[in-house]
Amino acid sequence: MIKQFHSGRPPRKGRRHSPHKRQIRWNPSAQTSGDGFDKSRLPRENLKVVPLGGLEEIGRNMCFIEYGDDIIIIDMGLQFPEEGMPGIDYIIPNISYLKEHKDRIRGVIITHAHLDHIGAIPYLIHELGNPTIFTMPLTRAIILRRQEDFKHLPPIDIETIKSDEVLNLGSSFRIEFFHVNHNIPDTIGVAVKTPVGTVVHTADFKFDNNPVGDKPADYAKMAHLSSEGVLLLLSDSTGAERPGHSISEKTIQENLEDIFEHSDGRIIAATFGSLISRIQQLIVLAEKFDRRVAIDGYSMKANVAIGQELGYIKIKKGTLVDIDQISDYPENRQLICCTGAQGESNAVLMRIAQKEHRFIRLEKGDTVIFSSSVVPGNERTVQSLKDIIYRQGANVYHYQMMDIHAGGHAQAEDLKMMINLIRPKFFMPIHGNYFLLKLHANLAESVGIPPENVIIAGNGNIVELTKDKATILKKTIPASYVMVDGLGVGDVGEVVLRDRQMLSQDGIFVIIAIIDSKSGKIIGSPDIISRGFIYLRENQELLKEARHKIREIVEHSSTPEMTLDPDYIKNSLRDKIGQFLFTKTERRPMVLPVIIKV
């Protein structure tokens, strides 16, 4: 099936179309080349591929492809904050360039429904003029469900596609899709056919010939694309440092079944809320061993409801019960599927372990399954959670003990298989830190891609392509972090972040001084407030010296010969008291002077 778009979508009653939504229909009867493009109408310039995130980190995945007057975007994800980013909720891509050229955006392709690929949509899509989003049914449903948390925003424009469809956007892009395996259904790779050549984007993927609740990747479609010739392959690098092949979901199913068979008490299984295929596995096993299932966790309950509605999760009548009713059944007939496998403080599993859950208490003989890998940065919190669970006498199973979780990302041998299937002229690793991109590049060279045809780019690099050459241009596009803090998007910059880091490391030292505007002398004793620096009651001698120093600085800065300048006094106090405190403590708190003239 081929979808043609004149102005975004067929007109609907009462719907107004803006000029930026104009998408020119591909006309097969026009004067075309063999790939179906009207060469007479296209600007004669090179193809550009630009990553805006995901090439120097895990997350924030977004890139765009530009040719002539046409731009398409692939994915629009967020990244979770790093340790040195106190107070930051998310990091999203910088879209400065795209905002300047939003009238040329012909559409947004979303490969699957994980937050590192969809999470930035509510923050960015309207800034770009609300271009049409094209994606698979499950992904569309999860995106729309998430938009309900942003009720202050206008509706988004989102279309459902199928993996066997062809989408024509603008005069430059003919887009095909192919099914790949991942740990969420409806994941698609994208083939963008342009007048210069075909660009293939793998999305997050792995190869699984025995998936549970899914079908194997579409090898035939990939081979067909290869036979037509692929100019550039963009391929997921997340698993590049792991040797061998990915574990099949069938193996995981068998190991989970072994746990169910030998568990005499209650089973509590924690995993990602978006891991729909794993939740389906657990439900199938619960039905096989006559257990009732309670789902707990906001995101998991929402995704299970969507999965049921679309047919990706199948549950027999009577299997599912509310969490407040699960205790009505014997413990050997209970399964609780919940969020919290990463040790999140407010997630369900942590509340159960800390005896803060309204309905569930851990007991000796319970079985707790961590059916997920540990996200980098969460190691300490997960270990602490396991300690709490072990202390209460529960049995714990996790992926390092046995194969009860497989990541959704191809390992080294699968990555080489993808390159051999697609056989691109140029290769560009994506989705990973630099070392992962480099390891993936090495794999590409090991299967015959010439080193000069391997492109290791960074966020904001412009990769320009002709039929015979791929070049990273010297010019770059802004791709710096844009931070989301509460309702603020982009209003927390480096200065604010540096202040937060300083406050988190050495605290704050506030000086409140009342100054006589005529004499320039301090009235009374300066007030001092310390938070995160010293405990005032135990440092009276230091405070006495600090007050004496403050009085000296103020009186020296406001002699009768000088005009009383509060800003000058504040700067003097900030510098000199900061230096004084460092000499006494070897710490540098943030010094905040407050001057009140009377």
Q: Which residue out of 112, 409, 431, 440 is catalytically annotated?
A: 409
DSSP code per residue over 265-309: S-EEEE--TT-HHHHHHHHHHHHHTT-EEEEESHHHHHHHHHHHH
| Other C-beta atoms lying within 10 Å of the C-beta of residue 66 | 24
Q: Extract the tokens encoding 181.
A: 């395996």
Q: Which residues contact 468 (CB under 8 A, 6 or more apart)?
A: none
Please say if 409 is a catalytic residue: yes
Task: Determine contact, residues 465/232, Cβ cutoff 8 Å.
Answer: yes
115 three-state secondary structure: helix
- 58 with 437: CB under 8 angstroms? no
- The residue with tokens 């020296």 is 556
3-state DSSP helix/strand/coil percent for the chain, to nearest 5?
A: 30, 25, 45
Where does residue 69 rank: exposed (0-12), middle (13-18), buried (19+ CB within 10 A)? middle
CB of 95 closer than 8 Å to CB of 109? no
Contact status, residue 414 vs residue 388, Cβ threshold 8 Å: no
DSSP string spanning 536-581? GGG-HHHHHHHHHHHHHHHHHHS-TTS---HHHHHHHHHHHHHHHH
The dihedral through the CA atoms of 488, 489, 490, 494 has a sign that is positive
Residue 144 structure tokens: 């729309």
Q: Assign 55 to helix, strand or coil.
A: coil
With contact defined as beta carbons under 8 Å apart, do 37 and 174 qualify?
A: yes
Give the max Cα distance, the chain.
91
Annotated active-site residue in 157, 186, 214, 236: 236
117 is catalytic: no
Q: What residues are annotated to the active site? A: 236, 409
